[in-house]
Amino acid sequence: MNLADVKTNAFAMPLTNASYPPGPYRFYDREFMTITYRTDMEALRRVVPEPLEIAEPLVKYEFIRMPDSTGFGNYTETGQVIPVRFQGREGGYTHAMYLDDESPIAGGREIWGFPKKFAAPELVSDKDVLRGTLDVNGVRVVNATMGYKHRSLDVEKVRQSLLGPNFLLKIIPHADCTPRICELVEYHLEDVVVKGAWEGPAGIDLHSHALAPVADLPVREVLGATHYLTDLTLGLGRVVHDYMAEDGAAARAVE
């Protein structure tokens, strides 16, 4: 393979058999259970990067069941999203994600910078509750429950809430383990169709784990929970802040 062939074929790793196809990626019957809880402001300050601003000491703990997605297949995901502000706009910063499928782990990390790690999450309806769990290395890390479809929500209001900006910290090391890419990435959900939306009572327990520290953002008060079913496209991202460029400018100023 000559130099031109490498450049032409270099979409993602491995070179000759990429772990995922090019996007965009469409999700059908994507099911969310989101539990909003109050946590400690100091705990949030330790994990949310500037220039993002923390609006309130809140966390949205999400379970997402994805039975049919183009390129990524059938999988389940869970993690923590922190409500933030950026340049006066309200959005969400994805702090942690755990899922059970290699393709979206590779694609999510390499394209956008999603903080994805391999684990065993589950979201199921169990009689009169929606139940979400996360097991990591055989250890139960999260137990969450929600009353099943207790009260219907306005699907248009839910759809509008899904259209706001989402932020990620994309980090890729150099071959010598120094930072090569360190960027704040913004992305949006697109072509969103909400097929149903509900709210109800909820409970969530977070447990300590060395490599899945979700409990570092402790639950102080559960504020509410939503459950909704959607079709949507995961839009590609754009860089809104380049931390490495900032370092380069500082170095040039010193010179």
Active site members: 116
What is the spatial distance between Cα 243 and Cα 16, in angstroms, rounded to a whole number?
A: 31
Residues 6+ apart with CB under 8 A from 204: 35, 37, 61, 142, 143, 144, 145, 219, 222
Measured in Å, how far apart are the chain's first and last C-alpha atoms? Answer: 41
In the numeric block, which tokens belong to residue 99?
Answer: 């899922």
Q: Where are the beta strands (DSSP E) in the chain?
A: 25-38, 53-54, 58-69, 73-86, 89-99, 116-118, 120-126, 129-136, 139-147, 151-152, 166-173, 179-187, 189-199, 202-206, 221-234, 238-242
Whether omega for the bond prior to residue 24 falls within 30 degrees of 0, making it cis, is yes
**Measured on CA atoms in the order 189, 195, 200, 206, is the torsion positive or negative?**
negative
What is the spatial distance between Cα 26 and Cα 22, in angstroms, rounded to a whole number?
A: 12
User: Can you tell me whether residue 217 is helix, strand or coil?
Assistant: coil
What is the spatial distance between Cα 218 and Cα 235, in angstroms, rounded to a whole number?
A: 31
